[in-house]
Structure formats: C-alpha cells, structure tokens
Structure 1
Amino acid sequence: MLEQGLFPCPEALTDDELEPPINEPRINERIRVPEVRLVGPNGEQVGIVRIEDATRLAQEADLDLVEVAPNSRPPVVKLMDYGKFKYEAAVKAREARRNQANTEIKEMRFRLKIDEHDYETKKGHIVRFLKGGDKVKVTIMFRGREQSRPEMGRRLLLKLADELQDLSVVENMPSQEGRNMSLVLGPLKKKAEAMEEQRKVRDERKAADKAERAERAAAKAAKKTSGDESE
C-alpha cells in the first residue's frame, strides 16, 4: 500500500505522458537513474523519489517498476504487473490487426436514372454489407449528356447516405472521377462486433428451432398416449 504524501507530489501527468514508449521500456534494475517520478498502480501520483525507494516499493507490492516516460526530467516510472501489461497489449494489437484485415470495401453501382425498385434492391445489398461490418463504395455512372448534370448524382448519393445514417457514417463525400461519382460509407459497427451479433442471431435461431421441434415431438407423443388410453 503506497502512502500518499510520503514524497512531494508533482503536478498531475497527462495520459500521453504515461503511455509506454513504442520500443521495449526499461524495467526494474535496468532503470539506472538517481531519481524518478513515481506513479502508483492505479495512476496515483506518488512524487519524485530516489530510484532505491521506488525499487523497494515495487518489491513490497510484488510489482514491476516500468519506465513509461524516459524523456521526462526526471523519468516517469509506474508500478505495474509488466507481464500482464504485455499480454493485454498483444491481445489488443492482434484484435486490431484482425479487424483491419477482415474489413472489406464492397462496391455498388447505380445509374443516374435508376428506377425505384432497383434503387431499393441495391440499397438492401448495401444495408447487408454495412451490417456485416464492411465499407461500401457507392458509384453513380453517368452516360452521355448526364455528365453535364453532376448535381443530380450528388443529390442521389446524399439521399442514400441520409437514409442509411443509422447504419453508416460518410467517410468520403461525393467526388467525381471522369464519368463516375463516388461516395464511401463506413459501418458504425466494427467487423468483429457485426460477426459476433450475427453469431448470436444464428445461435438464438437454432435454439428456437430446437425448442419448436421438441414442442412438436411432445405434442405428438401426448396425442399418441391419449389415443392408446382410449382404446
């Protein structure tokens, strides 16, 4: 248990100052400076202390002394379970890479004079892509004299974005490239979250189907038993 007020308390540090450096930080006996600014395991500010005192406190708390801001004067160190910290950081990094790798950019093409039925059909596909956690690039293809009316294409794309605002965010506003004009919609939910929701829906549907089959079987068995008793 760290005693507050044991050492002079410096001004509060920002979250950025407490972030570990990108490279492997120095820990425990590898920290070779006369004094450090010590931060407790829950972020409490202990103060500027001699490295010997900081090391002793770490040993008493069965924690590691980790240098989190080596360029500060004096360097900032924090008491933490470094093994647990590295494990959690690796899990987060792996999850971030998986989300990035799984996210795809789907493309949906519209004609400027698309009819209502085709519009709704294509919008349904876009909804499915967004719910699946994928980005969608929506492209309007201009033909002939339609190229002189880019505002019509912009209006159609913005209408679509407005109708899908509950599922998406506009990542790139309508921009024209040659005969085409495109808009990019990003999903509100990450790929991993969308996949987890889909898995839950499938599991719930399977459970409901199983319960329904069991109920039919029980009703059939009850009906058969009733028939046997009446004979």
Structure 2
Amino acid sequence: MPEVRLVGPNGEQVGIVPIVKALELAREADLDLVEVAPTARPPVAKLMDYGKFKYESAMKAREARRNQAHTVIKEIKLRPKIDPHDYETKKGHVVRFLKGGDKVKVTIMFRGREQSRPELGFRLLQRLADDVADLGFVESRPKQDGRNMIMVIGPHKKKAEARAERNAARARARAEG
C-alpha cells in the first residue's frame, strides 16, 4: 500500500501513513491533502486549505514583482569630434542617470571618414568611463557596431538605494528651509 510522509496543517510532523489514512484525516479536518515533495522517498504531503494556499502564494508573487527593480537603460549619443562644453553637458546627463540608479548606453556615431578612425571614439568612451568611475562601472567594453561604437555603464548603487538617498536629501532640505 503506497505511503506518504504527512505534515499537519500547522507544520507538525504526523509521520509516515498510508495514503488512504491521510485522505481520511484530510476529510475529517475539512482540509486538502497536497503533495509538496513528490520526488522524496516516501513523497511528502501536507494537510492544508489549497484555495488559501494558492491565494497566499499569488499575493507573495505579486509583492515580489512590485519590489522588483526595473532596469532602465538610458542612452546618450555622442560624436567623435565633440566640443568640450558639449562633452561636459553629456557627461552631466550620464552622471544624473547613474545617480538615479539607471544603466547608461553610450553610443558614438561615426560619419563618413570618421569611420576610419575608431580609436577616437574608443578614447572618448575611455575618458567618459574614467570621469564617472566613482558613480558607475563599465558593464560592457566599447565595441564597434557598424557606424556606431557602443559601451554600457552600470551604476554602483541600486535603483532603490538611489531613491532612498534622494528622498532623505529632500527631507533634510524641507527640514532646513
């Protein structure tokens, strides 16, 4: 006669019992007999309210999805022959994105004869990576992709940490002024 290791409704170990007896106990307690570990020897079954179990597991999954960090990739486009002031402006955007906890995809667009000098784009990307090294790290090295050269910079801080820090700074500002 097949047997199962039975776990009670409060998590207590009932022991190894025949399936018929386990079903009988479930009927008496007005609960369901649910197999929780089918590969175990003997299989493990638990007495529980299956509807309530499904509802609670759905709520846990929903809560986990809500707390999940949504990775956003922001993109900045540059040209190899960029003016110093324009470079500083674009660097400011990258800094803002990294402080916000977002990844940044930096694209350098080559036109015409610039394509024969990819080292200009590589040097520019290295310079940008060095300038923002305290806020982020190079997640994917610069690589040529047709007319573009692409590099991804990831933030050191997670999005949730950045948001908490920003909210704390706002609260301090409100308290002072």
TM range (shorter): 0.5 to 0.7
Q: Which residue of 2 aligns with 1:126?
A: 94
* Shift in Å, 1:149: 1.6
2:7 equivalent to 1:35: no
Aligned residue runs from structure 1 range 152-231, under 5 A: 152-209=120-177
Q: Which residue of 1 aligns with 2:118?
A: 150
2:110 equivalent to 1:138: no
How many equivalent pairs are there?
159
Q: Which residue of 2 aligns with 1:107?
A: 75
- Runs (4 or more) in structure 1 with deviation over 6 Å come to none
Residue 66 of structure 2 is aligned with which of 84, 94, 113? 94
- Which one has a bigger Cα radius of gyration? 1
Aligned counterparts of 1:89 and 1:170: Cα–Cα separation in 2: 32
Aligned counterparts of 2:130 and 2:107: Cα–Cα separation in 1: 16
Aligned counterparts of 1:141 and 1:186: Cα–Cα separation in 2: 21
* Shift in Å, 1:34: 1.8
Helix, strand or coil for the counterpart of 1:114? coil
Segments of 5+ residues of structure 1 without an aligned counterpart are: 1-32, 57-64, 210-231
Deviations 1:128-181 (A, max 9, x none): 011112221111122332211212312321332233233223333222222211
* Shift in Å, 1:204: 1.0
* Contact 2:75 2:104 (8 Å CA) reproduced: yes
Deviations 1:93-124 (A, max 9, x none): 2222xx32xx4322212221224333222111
* Contact 2:4 2:45 (8 Å CA) reproduced: no
* Contact 2:4 2:44 (8 Å CA) reproduced: no
* Contact 1:37 1:74 (8 Å CA) reproduced: no
TM-score (norm 2): 0.67
User: Are residues 72 and 139 of structure 1, via their aligned partners in 2, closer, same or farther at CA, if it must alter by over 3 Å?
Assistant: same
- Ranked by relative contact order (alpha carbons within 8 Å, sequence separation 6 or more), the top structure is 2
* Shift in Å, 1:183: 1.0
- Pairwise CA RMSD of aligned residues? 3.7
* Shift in Å, 1:205: 0.4
Aligned residue runs from structure 1 range 48-87, under 5 A: 49-50=16-17, 68-75=36-43, 87=59
Helix, strand or coil for the counterpart of 1:185? strand
* Contact 1:131 1:167 (8 Å CA) reproduced: yes
- Larger relative strand fraction: 2
* Shift in Å, 1:67: 5.3
Aligned counterparts of 1:185 and 1:78: Cα–Cα separation in 2: 48
